[in-house]
A and B are shown apart, each in its own frame.
Chain A
Amino acid sequence: MMQLPEGGKIDGRQAVYLNITMILATAILVIPTIAAGPAKQDAWISVTLATLLGMPIAWLTVKLSSLFPGKTLIEYTVDILGRWPGKIVGLLYIFWFVHICSIMIREFGDFLVGVFMPQTPISVFHITVTIMAAYTIKQGLEVLARVNQIFLPIMLFSIILIFLLAIPEMDLNRLLPVFDSTVVDIFKGSLSPLAWMGEIITFAMIMPFLNKPGEAKRVAFISILVAGLVGTFIVIGALSIFGAGVASMTYSVLNMTRVVNITNFLDRLEPLIMVIWVSTGFIKITIFYYVIVLGSARWLKLSDYRPLVMPVGIILVTLSMAFWNNFLELIHFLAHVFPFYALFIFEAGMPLLLLTIVLIRKRGRK
């Protein structure tokens, strides 16, 4: 059995918190923009739809993992597909995690450079956050879960605060007319949020470390539900302030804080956004980083994952710099390529395939 620092067990509540952060961290700032692109003022319907569609993915993840208790995604692909195909699928998943993680690091740096510190080289942020993540991972999953238990409530509290303070600027008439967009557009708008929801597949890597494996299903559903709820609220808030024009903003939630002005005193709440972004972004990066390192160690059958932390970190920083030339490329990739790439292959397609094979085999055996 693999050695894990700190015993490596987390409870159901910690898992819920981790999943919520994992889904919301990236989404939180840009979800109104991305959903409102095709769906216009019906973006909130798109996000609700994405939440509903996220449920089957969560079910798929939990169902698949519960058939192989104690094993991560990387290991049971081998059990399902046989040695070589299984290993190849496992490797693909690791590559996908690496890809998401480097996207996340890039988004992290781009936001900070673009909004707060335009003269600082982006690599500073990439390297800093990766070092911080590496330090956390060296201490183990339990520590990561505990850190998240501190930052997620701060993040949710800040979001609620911003939402409440922005209420004077809101006008629900901006949501009208409802169902102005076609069903296809609404569905298109839900694709990107759904791709975020689908990151719940990462939970398949963490599930073996639940101290009560029976809670997995509840954990996954609650995570999707809460994340979807918060996402919907943010979208409603942004839409009722900016209307469908939100689609042309890069960081609509940041703009939400900018319109807050209570008696000329409580304005400029941007530091709050910075706190949210840096802390939850850091945790999301750490989760994926952890999953990569853990998955690679399991894939290579190492007894300890810690020797991999450093090399993987270097790879992540390098890739985050090399994949895209500028922010526009990244946004284009996220809006037009990522949903199909992530959703249909890794989040829904592959798990569905794996589950089908397992069920067919089971029937064959009987």
Chain B
Amino acid sequence: MTAFFRKPTRPRRVNSARNGQNKAQGNQQNTDGLSQSLLLSTDIDINLRHLKSIFHNCSDVIFREFFFAQKEHIKLALIYTDGLTDRTQVSEQIMRALALEVPMATSNEIITKTNALHYIKMRGLCINHVKESQKVEDVVDAVLSGETVLLVDGHDTALINDIRGWEARAIEDSKTETVVRGPRESFVETLRINTSMLRRKIKNPNLKVEMLKLGKATKTDVAVVYIKGIVNEGLVHEVKNRLNKIRIDGILESGYIEELIQDNPYTPFSTINHTDRPDRVAAYLLEGRVAILVDGTPVVLTAPTLFMEAIQTPEDYYEKTQFMTWVRILRILTMFISLTAPSFYIAIVSFHQEMLPTPLLLSIAAQREAVPLPAFAEVLLMEVAFEIIREAGIRLPQPVGQAVSIVAALIVGEAAVQAGLVAASTVIVVALTAMASFTVYYGGSIALRLLRFPLMFLAASLGLFGLISGIIVIVVHMAGLRSFGVPYLAPVAPIVPGDLKDFAVRAPWWAMFRRPRLIGQNDPQREVPGMMPKPPEPGKR
């Protein structure tokens, strides 16, 4: 027992020591000496001096001092970060109101230094969301997150006004997951807008948005979103638990969090899904999953994740079921092609020629006659060339993109074949592989793209047997994966008969009246069964 407990305590001790050090350093330099105990003083000048020393050299933090429009000089100070605050609101609703207009409304009453704060808050500020705080730490956090802080002389309480406003990207089409039918919006970089998009889809008080801040330096806002009553409470607890364990200087993208909380750290498969489509996230929430939204990125994490999500798109649920079932089957096929086509080709051409029908064999042999390379080197060359083109296509500045694709198509498609460097059949295989890998959802396809290469090595050394062995090992690895306790390969392994309605077949909506069994068991029924539309019986009206 003691041995069991000793292990985790060791890193914890290191952590706390490091935290202590940082705090000590912070106090010395007084840059962010924000120990909990530090409170505001009643003297505004002391407060301002203190805050100015904290925000020393932060040229974007504005200190604006002015007098309250009263006979008695009551000094007020506004502190905000330029660029994160709505400037017109600051000047119109706060400064104008306090410096000029308040006295008219309160002409009968006597405002003195002692009750100024109360009047300002109740009468003076035309702001919809005002908080109070007495801690220096809260003031600093508020200023940095775009809120406007109002200090009043003679009071040790700061008024924190939420009038954030900054330049944000407009809501656009999803760039990574496009659909023909379905909503044309995607998440943006601002967390609030993202949560509002979810709220607009799920108008329900049970949609909970729990906030936490991660990252010692960046203090990134992170929201854990779920629907209470549908989600498994244990799952929410586990997600928050894992998030709270994160001790890091900064979170710049949700990928940081993904790698820090996933179940198996070494797998190339993504056991936490990511998407930038609000409708996809809303659908996941309704199935009983948890979403993790991170400020500063449009990419939202959802968990638990199943492997089969790689072949699902939001559109599957909007378009005709018969057609989408066909597309699902097609995607399963393309997933296999994108993983195994090159290695299968290598195995057949270099080991098992007898398996090809004779005319096909002759034609392939004729093409390969002039090729100086063995099949493996040939395919590897083409695959690497394709990876280069693909990577270049992503990184290159957009105007150049077209030129690249033309050059690439020329080099890879035409010139390589004509130069006798590769056989035309190899080009066909590689091109098919490439196209196939695009039909699978990007997050799911990168693992396949990576694993294609070891499989090619196996096929080149052991033929079809090597290929099958490789696939078996991959399947064993995947069968051992879990995402927040849910087996990664469900509903195929373990077989969950009810959930097969949403795997290769996308059942019509009136038939999918249960949530995924392993995820939404908390409230399994999602619709009333027996809703299959029927024409009214003749005679009955």
> What residues of chain A have their CB less than 8 Å away from a CB belonging to chain B?
6, 11, 13-14, 112, 116-117, 120, 124-125, 128-129, 132, 135-136, 139-140, 143, 145-151, 264-265, 267-268, 270-271, 274-275, 278-279, 282
Contact across chains for B480 and A139 when beta carbons are under 8 A apart: yes
Across the interface, which residues of B come within 8 angstroms of A132, CB to CB?
469, 472-473, 476
* Chain B residues, CB < 8 A from A147: 472, 475-476, 479, 493
What are 27 residue pairs bridging A and B, where the CB atoms are less than 8 Å apart in the complex?
Answer: A11-B494, A112-B465, A116-B352, A116-B464, A116-B465, A120-B462, A124-B462, A132-B472, A132-B476, A135-B476, A136-B476, A139-B479, A139-B480, A146-B479, A146-B489, A147-B493, A149-B492, A150-B475, A264-B357, A268-B355, A268-B356, A274-B464, A274-B468, A278-B469, A278-B472, A282-B469, A282-B472
B493 proximity list for chain A (CB < 8 A): 145-150
B468 pairs with A279, CB closer than 8 A: yes
Q: Which listed residue (B351, B462, B464, B487) contacts A146, Cβ 8 A?
A: B487
Q: CA A187 – CA B357 in complex, angstroms?
A: 42
Instruction: Identify which of B357, B493, B494, B495 gathers the most chain A CB atoms within 10 Å of its CB.
Output: B493
Q: Which residues of A contact B356 (CB under 8 A)?
A: 268
Shortest Cβ distance from residue B517 to the other chain A in the assembled complex, whole angstroms: 12
Residue pair A149, B469 in contact (C-beta under 8 Å): no
Chain B residue nearest to A275 in the complex (CB): B468
A128 to B351, CA, bound (A): 18
Hey, which chain B residues are within 8 Å of A112, CB to CB?
465
Tell me if A116 and B463 are in contact (CB < 8 A): yes
With A139-B480, A278-B465, A278-B468 already in contact, the answer to whether A265 and B495 are too (CB < 8 A) is: no
Contact check, B494 vs A117: say whether CB atoms are below 8 A apart: no
Q: Which of B480, B492, B494 has the most CB of A within 10 A?
A: B480
**B391 interface hit (Cβ, 8 Å):** no
B351 CB contacts on chain A under 8 angstroms:
117
Inter-chain contact A271/B355, CB cutoff 8 Å: yes
Q: Which residues of B contact A6 (CB under 8 A)?
A: 480
Main secondary structure of the interface of B (DSSP, over half): helix
* Shortest beta-carbon distance from A210 to chain B in Å: 13
Chain A interface mostly: helix
Taken together as a complex, chains A and B put the C-alpha atoms of A270 and B352 apart, in Å, by 10
B351 to chain A, nearest CB (A): 7
Chain A residue numbers with a CB within 8 Å of B167 are none
Give Cα A132–Cα B462 distance, bound, in whole angstroms.
15
Chain A residue contacts of B354, Cβ below 8 A: 268
B66 CB → nearest A CB, Å: 66
Find out whether the CB atom of B472 lies under 8 angstroms from the CB atom of A270. Answer: no
- Tell me the smallest distance from the CB of B113 to a CB of chain A, in Å: 67
Interchain residue pairs A-B with the least CB separation, the first 10: A146-B493, A146-B479, A149-B493, A139-B480, A143-B480, A278-B468, A147-B479, A143-B479, A136-B476, A268-B355
**Complex Cα gap A143–B480 (Å):** 5
B452-494 CB mask vs A (1 if < 8 Å, else 0) is 0000000000111100110011011001100000010100111
The answer to whether A149 and B495 have CB atoms under 8 Å apart is yes
Q: Are A271 and B479 in contact (CB under 8 A)?
A: no
Nearest CB in chain B: distance from A270 CB, A: 6
Contact pattern, B 48-82, Cβ under 8 Å of A = 1, otherwise 0 = 00000000000000000000000000000000000
- Tell me the complex Cα distance, A148–B465, Å: 18
Chain B: which residue is nearest A11 at the CB level? Answer: B494
* A145 near B355: Cβ-Cβ < 8 Å: no
Of the candidates B352, B462, B487, which one forms a contact with A128 in the assembled complex, judged by CB atoms under 8 Å apart? B462
- Which partner residue on chain B sits nearest A17 by CB separation? B495
Do B352 and A139 touch (CB < 8 A)?
Answer: no
Which residues of chain B are near A270, meaning CB under 8 Å? 352, 355
- List B residues 481-515 near A (Cβ within 8 Å): 487, 489, 492-495
Chain B, Cβ-Cβ closest to A286? B476
Also in contact, A14 and B479, with CB within 8 A (given A128-B469, A268-B357, A279-B472): no
